[in-house]
Amino acid sequence: MDRGCRKENVAVDKRVREAGLRPTRQRIALADLLFAKGDRHLSAEELHEEAQAAGVPVSLATVYNALHQFTQAGLLRILAVEGSKTYFDTNTSDHHHFYIEGENRIFDIANGPVTVTNLPDPPEGMEIANVDIVVRLRPKRPE
């Protein structure tokens, strides 16, 4: 597998280490696929397909495990959209999303007038980590 120049792999290795994870060959390969294309949203199945196409020998279970480890380490955000449909977001900043029903496409809402007010106080000993807003879209229906 040739994932490009060694310099990029060193940066991915460093990123994984700084997140507190051991940089196994599979984690580095998956992180390289995840972060090489900038900010994006993808499912475990989509990453598994990319890994297979790139010649990375990894099972779907390993992809799921790595994605959840990356999420726990703060490298990804998890977005539950459709019951069992989960996306992983490489942009961990506070932002919201549009979801196009029927196409299973999700993308960032540009910084704008989304405001969340009147949030309840969290229970004792807890704090609000973030608030995810997913605005569902569909094609306009003819009038």
Residues 22-55 have pLDDT tens digits of: 999 999 999 999 998 889 999 999 999 999 999 9
- Residues 98-108 have a mean pLDDT of 88
Is residue 59 left, alpha or beta, with left meaning phi > 0 and alpha meaning psi from -120 to 50?
beta
Angle made by CA atoms 133, 134, 139, in degrees to the nearest 5? 145
Question: Domain for residue 93, yes or no?
Answer: yes
Q: Which domain holds residue 121?
A: 6-137
Q: Is residue 143 part of a domain?
A: no
Look at residue 1 and tell me if it is in a domain. no
Residue 42 within a domain: yes
Strand partners, 107: 98
- Asked if 6 and 22 touch (Cβ cutoff 8 Å), the reply is no
For residue 71, name the pLDDT band (cuts at 50, 70, 90): very high
> Domain for residue 97, yes or no?
yes
Predicted structure pTM score: 0.81
pLDDT at 90 (0 to 100): 93
The answer to whether residue 106 is domain-embedded is yes
Q: What is the CATH number of the domain that holds 133?
A: 1.10.10.10
Structural domains of the chain, count? 1
